[in-house]
Structure 1
Amino acid sequence: MASAKPPLHLLIAAPRGFCAGVDRAIRIVELTIERYGPPVYVRHEIVHNQFVVDRLRGMGAVFVKELDEVPDGRPVVFSAHGVPKVVPANAEARGLDYLDATCPLVSKVHRQAERLIRAGRHILFIGHAGHPEVIGTFGQVPEGSMTLIETVQDVAKIDIADPLNLSFLTQTTLSVDDTQAIVDALKTRFPAIEVPRSEDICYATSNRQAAVKAIALECERVLVIGSPTSSNSLRLAEVAERQNVPARLIQRAADIDWDWIGQPRAIGLTAGASAPEILVREVVDALAERFAVTETIAEHTVENMIFKLPRKLVA
């Protein structure tokens, strides 16, 4: 006779998974394929999730690193992370039909950057070097007009000619706590620094981090579904770890380390903003094969944000 499965209380964070910007970006690729037929080219991964990318590839999307890999006469979609200004300019010069899937909240940061540069300000940009969103934002303004800040320690190293004429902006997918520490350091060193009109870290990033904080202390482990290249997913695991709760980032159920899981009484589960709900259910099913799972949806904040699609896809 098989032994009974050990009980497991599974706290599933809410909100989790797709945000409005990711929903919009994926839908843009799907509708572009419907409108133009395959292949449709996408510059860089539309969002940082392999499952999503593979599904769209199966529909006829071709993911490329640079615009020169797109053949003449085929449409191209720009990823949700945003692109430097030179990319759409080059697409127009070639006569390519392009669709911009940049998240509207990232586009808002781009507009803020342009406004600040027109006002003669130097921008200190809080973000992670090499991230597509950072590259895209730096590509909105003249070279040398923005300085990257990654850590509190970087603040002490800044050498600015006119410290009375500074502003700061941030990447949208950062750790809320880390960013606040850097902002505090900037305000201390540069009391005259201009503060953004509104929060740059997007609502979805903030909400998902707060939801993990709310459940972490009730859990012995936290699983975060997301890509290792996804900034917002990595931050979710960090949030749990800072509550002294062990956390692991997994891409899907096959990545679960069962030795690490052990025999806990309670586990937290969440998903980054690029991870679809189907992967959440896949992990729940995998846990249910080994445990007698009791699910609780830990609702923290209700999200109802919707972003409009490009006119040329809905006309």
Structure 2
Amino acid sequence: MRVLLASPRGFCAGVNMAIEALELAIESLPGPIYVYHEIVHNKYVVDRFRSQGVVFVDSLTDVPEGSTLLFSAHGVSPEVRQLARGRNLRTIDATCPLVTKVHLEAIKYANLGYTIFLIGHEGHDEVIGTMGEAPEAIILVESPDDVAQLDVADESKVAYLTQTTLSVDDANRIISRIRERFPQVVSPPKDDICYATQNRQEAVSVLASSVDLTLVLGSQNSSNSQRLAELSRERGVTAHLIDGAQDIDPAWFEHVETVLVTAGASAPEVVVEAVLDFLREHFHATVEVHSLRTEDVSFPLPRELRVVSS
């Protein structure tokens, strides 16, 4: 078997920052450390931190007053921040700066009186946080068909933003429909979809045509990982989204000679290596790294931890 290992893959700068922040909090602050929602959408990462005593919560009422609470990479709404202050929680904000950028754009357009179309997936942590910045001004748009139903008071004052982990192709289809219906729509000068999401999607788009099967390392609730599997399927190549080697079914590889392996932005390299070891052991696989871009982005630790780390 021949394995094409996509690069870049796996952790992005925002995930690296959030994980490093939580690790430092565990080392330097009295526990337990609480995290609002999952630190990132990855089962391996969450289980590892849970085994170290981290408590993941979906409601701040589950966090004892005065405790330490870390906000995940996906960001939170102003309402959550206010609730945390009301409970006298020591908060650490590990929101990805690229998500913060979208929040600030939402605030700016809302203050200017625009109706904002937020392109994203209902219920995703990032979307909930962004909509919380200006709930009266934001309308969620999930598909091109939604655009026909949009009703705004002033069609000359509309803007669009996007969830950072979307499929570039899907987002562009919705954006095209919005531009057709609202020719005066405005948008941020720079795309909201993050660099890492775009780079990992580009790698699958380029490499999928050369393989018989794609394995994407990532959890089912990881939006950007789901998009990678969908991209492969759209190109006629079967794809499986898995958390690790334990999820592999050897029957998948009947008549398969070439496999693409990649990982979503919240999947650690250790699970990738375990899958490669499985393929070497069971199918005598040879691994070729195919690097399309170099990533050198990094984000500083949350300001609440910079003194601790210095």
Deviation for aligned residue 1:88? 1.2
Q: Once structures 1 and 2 are overlaid, which stretch shifts more, 14-23 or 86-95?
A: 86-95
Q: State the shift of 1:197 in Å.
A: 1.5
- Of the three residues 49, 57, 65, the one matched with 1:64 is 57
Q: For residues 129-185 of structure 1, give each alpha carbon's deviation from its aligned partner in whole angstroms, at most 9, with x where no partner exists.
A: 0101000000111x3311010001111111112111100000000000010011011
Deviation at 1:73, TM superposition (A): 2.3
Partner Cα separation in structure 2 for residue 170 and residue 71 of structure 1: 34
**Do residues 29 (structure 1) and 11 (structure 2) align?**
no
Unmatched runs of 5 consecutive residues or more in structure 1: 1-7
User: Is the aligned partner of 1:230 residue 2:228?
Assistant: no
Counterpart for residue 271 of structure 1: 263
From 147, 158, 162, the equivalent of 1:170 is 162
Matches within 5 A, 1:288-303: 288-303=280-295
CA RMSD of aligned residues (A): 0.9
Counterpart of 1:5 in structure 2 is: none
For 2:295, give the aligned amino acid.
E
Cα distance in 1 for partners of 2:11, 2:150 equals: 36
- Give 3-state SS (helix, strand or coil) of 1:25's partner: helix
Measure how far apart 1:10 and its partner are. 0.3
In structure 1, C-alpha distance between the alignment counterparts of 2:286 and 2:7, rounded to whole Å: 16
| Aligned-partner Cα distance in 2 for 1:84–1:221 | 40
Could you tell me the TM-score, scaled by structure 1's length? Answer: 0.96
- CA–CA separation in structure 2 for the residues paired with 1:236 and 1:313: 33
Letter in 2 for 1:285: D
Q: 1:193 aligns with which of 162, 185, 203?
A: 185
Equivalent pair of 1:35/1:313 in contact (CA under 8 Å): no
- Match status 1:76 vs 2:73: no
The yes-or-no answer on 1:153 pairing with 2:145 is yes
Give the aligned partner of residue 48 of structure 2: 55
CA contact (8 A) 1:15 1:300 kept: yes
Residue of 228, 232, 246 corresponding to 1:254: 246
CA contact (8 A) 2:280 2:286 kept: no
CA-to-aligned-CA distance 1:186-213 (integer Å, 9 cap, x gap) = 0011100112211000000000000111
Provide the residue aligned with 1:184 in structure 2.
176
What 5-or-longer segments of structure 2 have no aligned partner? none
Q: Distance in 1 between matches of 2:189 and 2:109?
A: 11
Q: What is the rounded CA distance, in whole Å, between the counterparts of 1:56 and 1:263 in structure 2?
A: 39
Query: Partners of 1:74 and 1:95 in 2: how far apart?
Result: 8
Does structure 1 residue 39 correspond to structure 2 residue 32? yes
Match of 1:220 among 193, 198, 212: 212
Instruction: Quote the residue 2:79 is aligned against.
Output: 86
Deviations 1:213-253 (A, max 9, x none): 11101100000010000000000001111111111101111
Aligned match of 1:131 in 124, 130, 138? Answer: 124
- Deviations, residues 47-73 of structure 1 (Å, cap 9, x unaligned): 001110111112221111111100122
SS at match of 1:11: strand
Deviation at 1:258, TM superposition (A): 1.6
1:9-33 CA distance string (max 9 Å, x none): 1001000000000001111111111
2:102 & 2:302 partners in 1: Cα distance? 19
> How many corresponding residue pairs?
307
User: Does structure 1 retain, via aligned residues, the 8 Å contact 2:224–2:264?
Assistant: yes
TM-score for the superposition, normalised by structure 2: 0.97
Q: Which residue of 2 aligns with 1:102?
A: 95
CA distance in 1, matches of 2:300, 2:118: 27
CA distance in 2: counterparts of 1:205 and 1:28, whole angstroms = 21
The Cα of 1:313 is off from its aligned counterpart by 1.3
2:296 aligns to what? 304
* TM superposition shift of 1:38: 2.3
What is the distance in 1 between the residues matched to 2:86 and 2:30? 23
User: How far did 1:291 drift?
Assistant: 1.1
